Amino acid sequence: MVNTSVKFCGINFKNPIVAASGTFGFGREYSKIYDLGILGGIASKGLTLHKKEGNEGIRIWETPMGIMNSIGLENPGVRSFIEDELDFMKSLNTNIIINIGGSTEEEYLEAVEYFNELEIDMIELNISCPNVKEGCMAFGLTDSGAGDIVSKVRKVTKHPLVVKLSPNAEDIIRVAQACEYAGADGLSLINTIRALAIDIKKRKPVFQNLYAGLSGPAIKPIALRMVHEVCNNVNIPVMGIGGISNYRDVVEFMMAGAQLVQVGTANLVELDAGRTIIEDLKEYMQVEGLKSLEEIRGII
Amino acid sequence: MALILKNEKIGQHIYWIEIEGKFEGNPGQFYMIKAGEYPLLRRPISIFSIDENSISFIYQVVGEGTELISKMIPGQTLDIKGPYGNGFPEVTGKIALVGGGVGIPPLYETSKKLREKEEVSLVDMYLGFSGDMFLKELWEKSCDNFIYNIGGFITDYIDVGKYDVILTCGPDIMMEKLTKACIDKGIKIYVSKESRMGCGIGACLACTCKTKAGNKKVCHDGPVFSGEEVYYGEYKC
């Protein structure tokens, strides 16, 4: 038996595969497809202090080997989540990462505080959602904006704090360093890339918000480069995200320096993508004679 | 993967694909289909007909995904998963099926199942074709009265007061008009919504539809909703 476990911010993960926020709900629907207890963890759908209805109009659009989305953080709000969904998530026997977004500083702080007395494994601070008009990604575009919100959240939350970074930032290395300096325990990157689709028949943008977030295999090489750059410039652990669809992608992200990875779009393509990737990763480790994933991490 | 038995063009941009295998599903439910690695997502297509050893879909080529499906030939295999969604509810009495455009095909399986039931005394079909008409003889045979229109508004031809229940699938504007008529006369109506989908199981929220009972997921809570529950027009999916 190979040992796929990874320590991240002091927390033990069974394996490096985490379901990415926004593609997995709160696990309820996927729990009917396979036993989610085999996953390293699940990042919740992005939660905000107050319930959000999400965006009007088209919300999903395909591009060559990619998907654009503009869901707009539709979610039940933190209180309803805690009341109706958290116990279910905890019953799944995997690490629970709570993804928190917000349009103002106060919203972030209040939302994060709700979880202080609750048993969760980690907070993932979403300062990178490109699909809401106010806040969120605006905090993550500059090092000063990111540093400011992270230091404030750091003071409020009792949980390990991971910050989810935007590839749309002016300089993702500087934003990553600012988050580290402000007290982040770890980083996750990348969120979707801001992109545009145009309906030539209607002569209008496809999405009501004009821009939407691009994900999927199309963005993987960019994500991999950014993860590599960030891992080489910070001393906190990193979760790699961006178009990861199979075990080979996972290995690439680990070689680039990531401790964990998140699988997002692939869940929509194959509902049991997480299970397949974990099985294939174990086989890869056996074939390569790896006792631990640490042997290949950051070798590039 | 499942074997394609036929994939024929039956109208402008309209194809009939038959796939081998024992498939399940209720009228109004859909399957997710794709031809290859690209595009990434499967296309949600409603059941046209389930037979003993095959399932059929009638689909319109609207983008690259459906275009790739249309180029497949018998003997090749296709990626198919399902059934998904709720489908039309059990109904009784005098039923009108009202379809428009690509909303027409699921009404065939619906009619077939309804006519097997003793509690259903009448099944009339009102179909509005957008371009050329397809499968005219088949529709005539599959209902008690067949009323159709090409390029106009099929809603102009129906007196909803003659029926106990209306089941409809088609453009929002058609279903909205019918719903208004049904509310006026106190007739029950169920509408089947179309939407771009991601996961198909209700997790990704790509196909959220605004209803009077809050946000619903077309793939999981629908695609069939009670007509008066759905917001049309500016609030549509």
Whole-model pTM? 0.94
Judged against a pLDDT cut of 70, whether residue B234 lies above it is answered with no
Whether residue B137 is found in the same domain as residue B56: no
Identify the domain containing residue B63 by its residue range.
2-84
Residues of B in contact with A74 (CB under 8 A): 205, 208, 215
**Helices A220-231 + A247-255 axis angle, to 10:** 30
Residues 6 or more apart whose CB falls under 8 angstroms from that of A202 comprise none
User: Cα(A181)–Cα(A240) distance, rounded to whole angstroms?
Assistant: 20
Judged against a pLDDT cut of 70, whether residue B237 lies above it is answered with no
Whether residue B111 is found in the same domain as residue B160: yes
For the CA atoms of A205, A210, A215, A216, the dihedral, rounded to the nearest 10 degrees, stands at: 0
Give the distance from residue A176's alpha carbon to the nearest chain B alpha carbon, in angstroms: 28
Neighbours of B73 (CB within 10 A): 8
Residues of A in contact with B203 (CB under 8 A): 23-25, 28-30, 267
Whether residue B197 is found in the same domain as residue B103: yes
Nearest chain B alpha carbon to A60: B206
Identify the domain containing residue A251 by its residue range.
6-54+74-193+216-295
Q: Is residue A169 part of a domain?
A: yes
Nearest chain B alpha carbon to A266: B40
Whether residue B97 is found in the same domain as residue B80: no
Q: Is residue A144 part of a domain?
A: yes
Q: Residue B228 is part of a domain; what is its CATH number? A: 3.40.50.80
pLDDT per residue as tens digits for the range B165-222: 999 999 999 999 999 999 999 999 999 999 999 999 999 999 999 899 999 999 999 9
Return the structure tokens found at B142.
Answer: 């599959």
Q: Please indicate if any CB of chain A lies within 8 Å of the CB of B68.
A: no
pLDDT per residue as tens digits for the range B120-147: 999 999 999 988 899 999 999 999 999 9
Q: Is A100 exposed, middle or buried (0-12, 13-18, 19+ CB in 10 A)?
A: buried
Whether residue B21 is found in the same domain as residue B123: no
Whether residue B73 is found in the same domain as residue B101: no
SS3 A222: helix
What is the β-pairing status of strands A41-43 and A17-19?
Answer: parallel
Whether residue B100 is found in the same domain as residue B201: yes
Number of domains in chain B: 2
Q: Residue B77 is part of a domain; what is its CATH number? A: 2.40.30.10
Whether residue B114 is found in the same domain as residue B200: yes
Q: Is residue A151 part of a domain?
A: yes
Sequence letter at residue B237: C
Sequence letter at residue A52: K
Residues of B in contact with A268 (CB under 8 A): 40-41, 198-199, 204
The length of chain A, given as a count of residues? 300
CB nearest to A60's CB, from B38, B65, B196? B196
CB nearest to B201's CB, from A56, A66, A271? A271
Sequence letter at residue A63: T
SS3 A44: coil
Residues of B in contact with A216 (CB under 8 A): 40
Strands of the sheet containing B188-192, edge to edge, are B145-150, B120-129, B93-100, B165-169, B188-192, B224-226
Whether residue B50 is found in the same domain as residue B105: no
How many CA atoms within 13 Å lie on the side-chain side of B130?
13
Helix (H) or strand (E) holding A260: strand A260-263
pLDDT per residue as tens digits for the range A101-122: 999 999 999 999 999 999 999 9
Q: Residue A175 is part of a domain; what is its CATH number? A: 3.20.20.70
pLDDT per residue as tens digits for the range B71-99: 999 999 999 999 999 999 999 999 999 99
**CB contact (8 A) between residue B40 and residue A265:** yes
Q: How far is CA A197 from the centre of its chain?
A: 23
Whether residue B224 is found in the same domain as residue B109: yes
* pLDDT score for B233: 61
Residue with token string 């018998």: B74
**pLDDT per residue as tens, chain A (300 positions):** 789 999 999 999 999 999 999 999 999 999 999 999 999 999 999 999 999 999 999 999 999 999 999 999 999 999 999 999 999 999 999 999 999 999 999 999 999 999 999 999 999 999 988 888 777 788 999 999 999 999 999 999 999 999 999 999 999 999 999 999 999 999 999 999 999 999 999 999 999 999 999 999 999 999 999 999 999 999 999 999 999 999 999 999 999 999 999 999 999 999 999 999 999 999 999 999 999 999 999 999
Whether residue B193 is found in the same domain as residue B106: yes
Whether residue B198 is found in the same domain as residue B141: yes
Helix (H) or strand (E) holding A205: strand A204-205
Give the domain-ending residue among B84, B110, B145: B84
Number of domains in chain A: 1
Give the domain-ending residue among B52, B84, B116: B84
Give the domain-ending residue among B84, B106, B130: B84
Q: Please indicate if any CB of chain B lies within 8 Å of the CB of A14.
A: no
Q: Which of residues 91-150 of A touch B (CB under 8 A)?
A: none
* pLDDT score for B235: 44
pLDDT tier, B38 (very low <50, low <70, confident <90, very high otherwise): confident
